[in-house]
Structure 1
Amino acid sequence: MIPFGIIGVGGYVAPKHLKAIKDTNNILVCALDIRDSVGILDSFFPQANFFTEFERFDRHIDKLARKKEGVKYISICSPNYLHDSHIRFALKSNAHAICEKPLVLNPWNIDGLRDLERESGKKVYNILQLRLHPGILSLKQKVQQELQNNPNKIYDITLTYLVSRGQWYFVSWKGDVTKSGGIATNIGVHFFDMLSFIFGAPKNNIVHISKPDCASGYLQLKHAHIRWFLSINHNYIPQDVQAMGKKTYRSIIVDNEEIEFSEGFENLHTLSYQDILAHKGFGLEDTKECIQIVHDIRNTSPIGAVGDYHPFCQKVSQ
């Protein structure tokens, strides 16, 4: 059983990591969160040592290492802006880092982590679970086959992702663009990673709307033109979807064909951990393009609803 540590165990995504550690027959020996509402540990690893102060967690990690009982992996589920620091802590603690997305907020942070990887001999892994989704893998295979026959083909894509969030969102770190990276980073980075994974590297990035509760733009990849719209505002969810009591709307249309991948998310973190433990996980180079995309979106001035924009832009008051 491989010993794990986790940072941010009280966070939204942490239970998926706890389940993945347990599903791969490994053990969590210590956990950190500044909040103490972490009863979720009872369902997975009740014997894990828990800390609310980083300094005591750091000391515990060091004591384990000195007893030759050090953790081999540290899973990072902390707020986005702390990922870079916590990854560095893991590597300096002689552990591999498994980090939620976005791996970092800025592309140049990846260069620094690459240097630290070389110095420490440890690896940084990013959870990019959509790359393991059966529907996405099927789409990638289909696209690759079509590009063999037509290498210059450009796909027309419309991406819409709406997920309702209450007023708490804007009070939390998620509502602070300096900490979360904004809407496109916080809820969109995995979609941009998935699209570049299938359709190639970014070539042009235009932002039409950038607001605290929504963002929209036009992204050109090597083999795709993408109109995208992301929001946490419940009012933008289509009325027929709201009528069914749903609070999330996800749609990806490729060349007028809706891509269905509403199911199949249950065990993607476990599959990610299995790959990582088999030394096949997604590393620094895999995450570079999506980090560059969301960084550019965050630092591009919006031009408004002009040109080739997503139709949902018309829902947003300018």
Structure 2
Amino acid sequence: MKRFFDDRQLRHAPARELHNGDWTDHAETVARPRSILSALDDWQPVRDFGREPLRAVHDDAYLDFLEGAHAEWIAAGRTGDAIGYTFPVVRRRALRLDRIDAKLGAYSYDAGTPITAGTWDAAYWSAQTALSALDRIAGGDRSAFALCRPPGHHAGRDYLGGYCYLNNAAIAARRAQALNLGPVAILDIDYHHGNGTQDIFYADPDIFFASIHADPRCDYPFYWGHADETGEGAAIGTTLNLPLPRGTDGAAYRPALDRALAAITRWSARMLILSFGADTFVGDPISHFALERDDYREIAAAIAALDLPTLIVMEGGYAVGELGANVAAFLDGF
């Protein structure tokens, strides 16, 4: 399986986030990709597919904001990372907003996803990493791994959050559609629900989205990922949410995985995008499942048994000391 990463993804280095009512060191650090890079070798170069595949998923205005936000922050006399503090409680209106603080609130939903001087470059090349791995599959490979960092599955069409800025899995899925690789299914097995991915495809009958994640009644992102969210309009039935309680171990996880895989099979998918988060690990510092390393091998083997061309896109995972070995175990099992 070919593996893709670009060093420009290391330019994003946020210092802190607001968590549980106080400032804390940011969990999504450059140590995460470095742990994975040290555990695996033979990385492939990343191609630049330009901005068009990003525009197929994200609003132009949002992309412009994301590219220029940190410069606006500095121009306003600020220092450090740009982070919002005012968030609309109703659907955002099409307003002209001049102050960077207002824009940050309009295009984000939490105070844990700051924009640094290197965020745009890192997010851009993270998306290009997913596209490069997809291109390998379009060329005939059965699978490929995109070490995407920053991650992407919390980013929506016009918002950032959950450490995510561009939705790498969604960008790859739209590109796969354009290349006639579909029908495309997305399976998200990060600890946290992929709310941005769900939002992007919630009314799209041509993309199937399944997610196995922590119960949002008590875990981030709270407002998405409940079992009664199944799609809307012509897409009712193309979203499957399988929330699980804290403490879920490998044995309790497997029935939900089997249910998701059966749904993907029934949907007759011809291409799978896998949002893989290793924050389901028992030792993850910000998550609360109890999967062990051997569970990753078994989960990966079960997914591989679908026998679909599969793009594996890296999402979360914050037990940095174990992360590289966990990802290697997953890819080995696949």
How does the TM-score come out when normalised to structure 1?
Answer: 0.32
Higher strand share: 1
How does the TM-score come out when normalised to structure 2?
Answer: 0.30
Higher helix share: 1
